[in-house]
């Protein structure tokens, strides 16, 4: 790992289906080695490209690029398919593990929020895997920490709900929390 990565500059650009393999290279270790994602197997490049195409129909999907390499990405997708939820989205951010804690996730989320505001989104929601309280009293878990919760808290999200032992991975149960950030004014439709 380059010890100066925190000082390297990166740019944020729109992602496309052509980026699927590079984005998947960032995502796959989270699937295979952590409980951050509740997927058991990383999707194929074709399936991942299809997700990008689907999500970019309505919402931003962005990437952070440093020296020609994608080092992180963030996107939004429908929170729920029913019409009444159209101003709410679910958001996601992943950063190449070599580049974590360098401000990339923050920059991606700030840009994502700015773009979502421009298209009238009012609520950003995040579903976050969490160790159970029992795991935390035993000193934590080797597949999941509270880092994502803490990151979203720093980004201005509030905890709005918790589902207990609803995700099963690595032969143990995990909780799922929902966090929300209000980014726009809730006006009546004109």
Q: Phi first, then psi: what are they for 126, rounded to 5°? A: -135, 130
The per-residue pLDDT for 136 is: 81
Q: Phi first, then psi: what are they for 86, rounded to 5°? A: -60, -15
Domain membership of residue 190 (yes or no) is no
- Can you point out the beta strands (E) in the chain? 11-14, 61-66, 69-78, 88-95, 123-130, 158-169, 172-182
Q: Cα dist. 69→26, 30, 53, 83, 91 in Å?
A: 11, 18, 21, 38, 22
The per-residue pLDDT for 33 is: 97
**Is 164 in a helix, a strand, or coil?**
strand
105-109: average pLDDT: 96
Dist. CA 20–CA 22, nearest whole Å: 6
Q: What is the CATH number of the domain that holds 175?
A: 3.40.630.30
Structure tokens at 72: 């992180």
Domain membership of residue 134 (yes or no) is yes
pLDDT band at 141 (very low <50, low <70, confident <90, very high): confident
Helices 45-55, 20-33: inter-axial angle, 10-degree rounding? 110
Please say if the pLDDT value at position 189 is more than 80: no
Which range marks the domain in which residue 146 is found? 5-182
Domain membership of residue 126 (yes or no) is yes
Give the model confidence (pLDDT) of 120-133 as tens digits.
Answer: 999 999 999 999 98
Dist. CA 173–CA 50, nearest whole Å: 30
Domain membership of residue 189 (yes or no) is no
Please say if the pLDDT value at position 56 is more than 90: yes
Domain membership of residue 49 (yes or no) is yes
101-114: average pLDDT: 94
Split into its structural domains, the chain has a count of 1
Please say if the pLDDT value at position 190 is more than 80: no
């Amino acid at each position: 790992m380059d010890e100066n990565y925190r000082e390297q500059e990166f740019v944020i650009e729109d992602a496309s289906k052509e980026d699927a393999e590079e984005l998947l290279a960032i995502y796959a270790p989270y699937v295979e080695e952590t409980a951050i994602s509740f997927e058991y197997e990383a999707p194929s490049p074709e399936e991942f490209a299809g997700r990008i195409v689907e999500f970019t129909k309505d919402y931003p999907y962005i990437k952070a690029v440093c020296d020609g390499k994608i080092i992180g990405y963030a996107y939004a997708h429908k929170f729920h398919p029913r019409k009444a939820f159209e101003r709410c989205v679910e958001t996601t951010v992943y950063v190449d593990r070599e580049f974590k804690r360098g401000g990339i996730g923050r920059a991606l989320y700030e840009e994502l929020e700015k773009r979502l505001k421009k298209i009238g989104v009012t609520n950003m929601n995040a579903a976050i895997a969490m160790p159970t309280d029992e795991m935390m009293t035993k000193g934590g878990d080797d597949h999941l920490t509270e880092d994502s919760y803490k990151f979203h808290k720093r980004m201005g999200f509030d905890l709005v709900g918790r589902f207990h032992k609803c995700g099963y991975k690595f032969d143990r149960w995990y909780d799922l929390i929902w966090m929300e950030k209000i980014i726009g004014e809730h006006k009546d439709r004109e």
